[in-house]
Structure 1
Amino acid sequence: MTPKEFFDKVVEMRRCQKEYLKNKRQIDLRISKQIEREVDEEIERVQKILHDKQNPQLFLTMVNMKILDLPLKAKWYEMIESGNKKEEYREIKKYWIGRLAKCGGRNSYEKTGFYCKKGICFSCITRGNGFHPKEYTHVRFRFGYTKRTMLFELESITIGVGNTNWGAPDNECVFILKLGKCIKKNESKDSTEFQPKNS
């Protein structure tokens, strides 16, 4: 949120509050409460940034991170959070090739020095060049689409057969995201508001 947007929200909040005091209309109260929540969230966000800046080592580390953001269903999020799941998996399909492969599925040897045959990442392996992942340093898991998150070091992105107990398909190659240590967790107060279903 920009400073101007923040200012406009505060002005609108105060207008609705005054209207409610004057006319006692529930619509004004509801709108003012909604804007108040947005204002509080922005204040919390800025305070967090200021806190991180006061810790130069943490702030510089955060600035230099290349973070992959992934929402997870409750079961997998909680397994990773507990330390029982050390890898996360994604199918080798066009969308994930675009997000995880350095070539994005649109590569030529002349441009990058390695081949990728129409986004089929197995060709990188069979040609002997190895798989070329994007250069992410960390992965941030989100509990569904809530504000509850945890940030991990990302040790590697490879292709192989994963652990079926950790959600990998049986005898099928997938992208394997190998996790390092947990850097930080953000336990949001409203993390259960849009809690993802287990599957």
Structure 2
Amino acid sequence: MNLQLSLKKKWFEMTKARIKPEDYREITPYWLKRLMFYSTDGYTLTNSEWEEACSDILSSSQSSSDYTEHLEYHLDNWYLKFKEFTINTMTLGYPSKTDSERILKLKHAGIEIREGNPEWGAEPGKLYFVIKHGKII
């Protein structure tokens, strides 16, 4: 599965030059849905259950002094797992499909939840979905 992410020029150029090996996305309901799935066979969360899960997860990621442990507990408690992506398609803005100068395909190297590097756009002390990049395809 392909994960497509739009970047601003600075971050796109750093990623293309292999200076920035990861990308950050805030822990929000939008990114929870885009990057994760409910992992119990045959059951899909209703919208209200998804909203409750997001609320629990977001509050745990912002309110605890040991929020990494709380966040992992809430993710496990809601049986959420990361989707399995194979390619990270990074784009400079929103190019046409034929604009190869503004599209970069990288091997997907996993997703973690942790603090990011402030030199690469992360706010110090804040947790993110950290999308890791492998080699250029």
Overall identity of the aligned pairs, in %: 34
Q: CA deviation at 1:92?
A: 0.3
User: For the structure 1 residues 155 and 131, does the alpha-carbon distance in structure 2 shift closer, same or farther, using more than 3 Å as the test?
Assistant: farther
By percentage of residues, which structure has more strand? 2
Pairing 1:162–2:116 present: yes
User: For the structure 1 residues 109 and 171, does the alpha-carbon distance in structure 2 shift closer, same or farther, using more than 3 Å as the test?
Assistant: farther
Residues 160 and 174 in structure 1, CA contact (< 8 A), matched pair in contact too: yes
Unaligned runs of 5+ residues in structure 2 are 45-49, 62-69
1:140 pairs, out of 89, 95, 101, with: 89
Q: CA deviation at 1:111?
A: 2.6
Residues 131 and 158 in structure 1, CA contact (< 8 A), matched pair in contact too: no
- The structure showing larger relative contact order (alpha-carbon pairs under 8 Å, at least 6 residues apart) is 2
Alignment RMSD (CA, Å) = 2.8
3-state SS of paired residue (2:16):
helix
By percentage of residues, which structure has more helix? 1
Could you tell me which amino acid in structure 2 is paired with residue 141 of structure 1? M
Structure with max Cα Rg? 1
3-state SS of paired residue (1:118):
helix
Q: CA deviation at 1:126?
A: 1.7
User: For the structure 1 residues 159 and 131, does the alpha-carbon distance in structure 2 shift closer, same or farther, using more than 3 Å as the test?
Assistant: farther
For 1:1-199, list aligned pairs within 5 A: 66-103=1-38, 111=43, 118-119=53-54, 120=57, 125-126=72-73, 129=76, 132-146=81-95, 147=99, 148-183=102-137
User: For the structure 1 residues 142 and 128, does the alpha-carbon distance in structure 2 shift closer, same or farther, using more than 3 Å as the test?
Assistant: closer
Residues 140 and 149 in structure 1, CA contact (< 8 A), matched pair in contact too: yes
Could you tell me which amino acid in structure 1 is paired with residue 113 of structure 2? I
Residues 155 and 178 in structure 1, CA contact (< 8 A), matched pair in contact too: yes
Q: CA deviation at 1:110?
A: 7.7
Q: TM-score normalised to the size of structure 1? A: 0.50
User: For the structure 1 residues 169 and 124, does the alpha-carbon distance in structure 2 shift closer, same or farther, using more than 3 Å as the test?
Assistant: closer
Q: How many residues align?
A: 113
Q: CA deviation at 1:71?
A: 1.0
Unaligned runs of 5+ residues in structure 1 are 1-65, 184-199
